[in-house]
Amino acid sequence: MDPFTTEISRHIWDTKYRYRQDRKISERTVDESWQRIAQALSAVEPRHRQDWQARYYEILKGFKFLPGGRIQAGAGTGRNVTLFNCFVMGMIEDSMEGIFRALHEGAITMRQGGGVGYDFSTLHPRGMRAKGVGALASGPVSFMTVWDAMCETILSTGARRGAMMATLRCDHPDIEAFVNAKKQPGILRHFNLSIQVTDAFISAVRADGDWALVFPAMDEEPGRNTVLKEWPGYGEPVHCHVHRCLRARDLWEKILRATYEHAEPGVLFIDRINRLNNLWYRERINATNPCGEIPLPPYGACNLGSLNLTQFVRKPFTAEAQLDERALTATTEIATRLLDNVIDASRFPLPEQEEMARGARRIGLGITGLAEALLMLGLEYGSKRSIDVTTNIIRQICHGAYRTSIAIADEKGPFPFFDKERYLEGEFVQTLPEDIRSGIALHCIRNSHLIAIAPAGTISLLANNVSSGLEPIFAGSMRRRVLNEDGTTGEFELTDYAVRLWQEKFGNPEGYPPGFVCASDLSPRQHLAMQSALQPYVDNSISKTINVPEIYPFEKFKKVYDLAYDKGLKGCTTFRPNPITGAVITTVEDSVNAPHCCAFEREAD
């Protein structure tokens, strides 16, 4: 039976994941692709390789489990590519040599297929006199344009589409320039932007206090115009020169106004990210991968995979519809081991990345097709019942993955950076059930982190157009542009997976299932409620777009970010259709182009 039920899915496989050797087709069917991946990842098993190959193939078959795009494209091909989707690059040294060294490392990483994140906070603010040469610094935003040009150049060579994240501290003197960097269309189009927002800044906003913009004082003697602060690149708090002060609420208003008007920058609640980091005892995180679901230290790396929840619903659209929890748990266990094997099977662009990846053994197991699964169960996305069911699903996956990682550690050993006593003191680990914590104490654990909710845009299209990641169904039918191998674009008209299934089951080609809602039907509070329900069970982070209607008042829009912070999220990204960025995806009746930062071909999968 042909596993493809949509034209676009076959197109995605053929152009992105089908193995070709010297431009000659080596795989006749997607089944052969699954066999290739299963064989490559079972080859690193110390024992029973054929048994593990069969198990890996079984969860890949029929799109039950969707490894990240780099795994599907590269595993078993022998190509000099990485199987990791997500990287954060090393600290950018504040010198011309350091800047271009970091640029070079980014180019190498993207050339091999990785998406990259950078913290630009280490660079002198614009107009500050550079140490040693006396010249005035041009500021981090100006250097970001160099990275953008590099990414464009790599695209022109035929490499896969590049994706980058740039972050900046909320107290950097150039924060306002960063906020407005993408105000004009076409500027920094290969970057997603996020601001590192601290708890102290939120407190200053709520207290209507002043906010100091600072930068390390270099060789200057500490004086009245310096403050002691943690800063990237310094092992302990450093004296920072206060460049100027402004009202915290004014800066917050500028950040939110920019996001309201052109969908960027996003916000990272950076202190919460670090407080909840399982490797809190050895890492300081200042950046994420391009879509935000993987916060990482310098040279950190993570590989991804998503459980396709539509494949675990039994008797869909009936009164007896239910989720097969036993099958979901079994698949979670095998998928966790598969992703752990990716670490050993992968090449790495840089030795520093290999050291960090093998030292922490981070993986990012997530979900996709959630919205369709809920619809198939008779639940309306965003309802109280749907949130409860989703919470149970992610709890089951999280705890299953942790128990599996403990078992693998007992067999193969823990991740090298593991410090049992300090790991068990971690704030996230402390929330895990007692049997898991006892298991870690007794047997250690194989992976420092296990759960991430990625956007999964391309691989969700591959799986016959299920909704991506945690997102709701965008529309029952839509028109989607895709990137071809030669850089041109094609266009497909799509019907949502669950909608099509219901229409075929009940012979109603124009109708919609009971409980059908799409992204535009949901309030921002409903989007946030779904994201916040999952956050307690996600040790990495969540990529989620909070859709906001175009006519949504700015005063109400601002409250979305207050709510995101108060609900314990690690970050917040909103999207409101606007003249600069247009709409994310187009319905069949629409002809507005998708914004570059949100189109699926920009996602690092």
Which residues belong to the active site? 289, 291, 293
| Burial call 118-152: b when 16+ CB within 10 Å, e when fewer | bbbbbbbbeebebeeeeeebbbbbebbeebbebbe
- Which pair of tokens denotes residue 443? 């047997």
Residue reference for tokens 């591959």: 462
Q: Show Cβ contacts of residue 524 under 8 Å, excluding neighbours closer than 6 positions.
A: 546, 547, 548, 552, 557, 560, 574
Residue reference for tokens 């193969």: 412
Q: Please check whether residue 289 is in contact with residue 302, taking contact to mean a CB–CB distance below 8 angstroms.
A: yes
**Alpha helices (runs of H) in 426-523, residue ranges in sequence order:** 434-443, 457-462, 497-506
| Burial call 428-444: b when 16+ CB within 10 Å, e when fewer | bbeebeeebbebbeebb
Count Cβ atoms within 10 A of the Cβ of residue 37 and give its class: 0-12 exposed, 13-18 middle, 19 or more buried. buried
> Which of these, 160, 60, 20, 83, lies nearest to 462 by C-alpha position?
60
Residue reference for tokens 């759960």: 451
> Which of these, 481, 544, 595, 511, lies nearest to 191 by C-alpha position?
595
- Which pair of tokens denotes residue 345? 């099977």
| 3-class DSSP assignment, residue 201 | helix
What one-letter code names the amino acid at 146? V
Residue 563 has φ and ψ, to the nearest 5°, of -65, -40
Contacts 24+ apart (CB under 8 A), 261-264: 261/183, 261/578, 261/580, 262/182, 262/183, 262/578, 262/580, 262/581, 263/574, 263/575, 263/576, 263/578, 263/580, 263/581, 263/595, 263/597, 263/598, 264/182, 264/192, 264/193, 264/597
Three-state DSSP string of 495-552: ECHHHHHHHHHHCCCCCCCCCCCCHHHCCHHHHHHHHHHHHHHCCCCECCEEECCCCC
What one-letter code names the amino acid at 517? V
| 3-class DSSP assignment, residue 29 | coil
Pairing state between β 571-575 and 266-269:
antiparallel
> Which of these, 211, 208, 106, lies nearest to 150 by C-alpha position?
106
